[in-house]
Amino acid sequence: MPVHIDDVMRLVCHISEVEKMQVAVRCSAKGALVAGAIAFAGGLVGGPPGIAVGGAFGGLLGAWMMSGQFKPLPQIIMELPPNQQLMLSNDVHNIIRHLDWTDAVQLISLVMGNAVLKQQVLSAINSFFINQLNAEVRYSD
């Protein structure tokens, strides 16, 4: 059976919506840039002690800037470039390849009706976002 990427992506979006999954992609480079810039400025103003104070303050500011930037996972999926969507689709398809479906509605019904299969798909989604995108995944209430 050929891989229906759109069906698989609709499944991923549906599961992540039902589970209220949110993702924050870590932009460690931006946080490090802020920390480094403030440490540099602190060094210019206060010498070695200024570097220490600026580094500590810059690190806290960088971490604060990166916190709380969670977006719903379906939104992130739609923003992924096609090659990453294909990678995610392949990861999930490896789990559901034994299923026989005709459209996304039937695929969603098959997976949502099987708790073990649903958990395996959730694990694949989590693994993809954590390993491929260095993202933090959380489930909101």
Close Cβ partners of 72 (under 8 Å, ≥ 6 residues apart)? 16, 17, 20, 21, 22
Identify the band that residue 79 occupies on the pLDDT scale cut at 50, 70 and 90.
confident
Nearest CA to 30 out of 80, 64, 78 is that of: 64
Determine the Cα angle at 86 with ends 82 and 89, to 5°: 135
Q: Is the pLDDT of residue 28 over 60?
A: no
Range of the structural domain that residue 25 is part of: 5-139
Residue 139's φ and ψ, nearest 5 degrees, are: -110, 120
* pTM tops 0.75: no
Structure confidence at residue 9 (pLDDT)? 92
Please compute the mean of the pLDDT values over residues 69-86 and round it to a whole number: 86
Q: Is the pLDDT of residue 34 over 90?
A: no
Percentage of residues in the chain having pLDDT higher than 90: 37
Contact 76, 60 (CB under 8 A): no
Close Cβ partners of 64 (under 8 Å, ≥ 6 residues apart)? none
Alpha-carbon distance of 109 to 10, in angstroms, equals 12
Residue 22 parent element (H or E): strand 21-25
Number of domains in the chain: 1
Side-chain half-sphere of 79: how many Cα atoms within 13 Å?
A: 9
Structure confidence at residue 32 (pLDDT)? 67
Nearest CA to 21 out of 113, 131, 130, 132 is that of: 130
Please compute the mean of the pLDDT values over residues 70-96 and round it to a whole number: 89
Contact 114, 103 (CB under 8 A): no
